[in-house]
Amino acid sequence: MPSIFDKILSGEIDCHRVYEDDHTLAFLDIAPLAPGHTLVIPKEAREHLHQLSDEAAAALGRALPRVARAVLAATGAEHYNVLQNNGESAHQAVPHVHFHVIPRLGDQGLGIQWNSGKLEDAEGILKRMHTALTTDESPSR
Structural domain contains residue 98: yes
**Distance between CA atoms of residues 133 and 65, nearest Å:** 26
Confidence of residue 115 (pLDDT cuts 50, 70, 90): confident
Confidence of residue 109 (pLDDT cuts 50, 70, 90): very high
Structural domain contains residue 126: no
Known catalytic residue at 23: no
Confidence of residue 139 (pLDDT cuts 50, 70, 90): low
Show the domain range for 53: 4-112
The lowest-confidence range among 38-52, 87-101, 113-127 is 113-127
Q: What CATH number did the domain enclosing 60 receive? A: 3.30.428.10
* Closest CA relative to residue 38, chosen from 85, 2, 92, 74: 74
Structural domain contains residue 53: yes
**Spatial CB neighbours of 2, under 8 Å, sequence gap ≥ 6:** 10
Count of domains for the chain: 1
pTM for the whole thing? 0.90
- Specify the DSSP class assigned to residue 29: -
Structural domain contains residue 70: yes
Average pLDDT over residues 68-83: 98
Structural domain contains residue 137: no
Structural domain contains residue 135: no
The one catalytic residue among 23, 37, 96, 98: 98
